[in-house]
Amino acid sequence: MQFDKALQSLCDADVDFVVVGDHARSSTRRLVSALTPFHPRPRGLADLPFIWDEATLRNSTVLTLQTDIGEIDLLAEVAGLGSFEDVKRHSITLEAYERKVATLDLPGLIQAKRAAGREKDLSIIPELESLLESGRD
Amino acid sequence: MKTLDPLTPQQLARAEELLLNPPPGSRIEAARKYGIDLTLLVEQLRLTPAQRALKLQAATQAVDQIRGIARRRC
């Protein structure tokens, strides 16, 4: 996964998005434009007819994509947090790959992991809670 | 929106103390008992957010390369 290219492209296209762990979600037209050069297609469904446009994006709450720069998941909402606006309220800005990027804060990430409830999400919670308790948000 | 800045030396020292000598009954102590290597968290906290992002990318690309090699051998 080339996080740098993905995040730089989204930032440079002025896309409003929040990184959730290693997932991202954002507004439609700019997002379509930002990811088009990387040829998004449905992951694991190479033979399925697929058009990468605003309509596809608007009609999907979850899109799991394979792109030329790696796997990207787009989420309209996050379990445990709610809509994109709710997610933004739980976000924090950091500087990475020479851009300013919004990502979930620690309490929000813990809430989302707990709500997801999968083994791989639950097993990381003690580590995240330790970071939170050590004073780092 | 809040920003995530690198830790100050004082913040880092406090976090290290808590992570390496967790108070009894704390969540940090529970994590250590669960099997979390807390020294790895200290190592991460010593990095800036930008350095952590680069480290994540390097690790992910290494995993991708290993997956690629494994697929070619199957």
In this complex, do B49 and A95 lie within 8 Å of one another by their Cβ atoms?
Answer: yes
In this complex, do B64 and A70 lie within 8 Å of one another by their Cβ atoms?
Answer: yes
* Paired residues of A100 in beta bridges: A95
Measured in degrees and rounded to the nearest 5, phi and psi for residue A125 equal -60, -45
In this complex, do A135 and B15 lie within 8 Å of one another by their Cβ atoms?
Answer: yes
Give residue A127's pLDDT.
Answer: 93
Over residues A117-136, the mean pLDDT reads: 90
Instruction: Say what the pTM is.
Output: 0.80
B-facing residues of A in 5-24 (CB < 8 A) are none
Q: Is the pLDDT of residue A24 over 70?
A: no
Q: Which residue of B has its CA nearest to A95?
A: B50
Mean pLDDT of chain A: 87
Q: How do the residues of chain B divide into helix, strand and coil, expressed in percent and rounded to 5?
A: 70, 5, 25
Of B3, B7, B53, the CB nearest to A136: B7
Give residue A137's pLDDT.
Answer: 45
ipTM, two decimals? 0.81
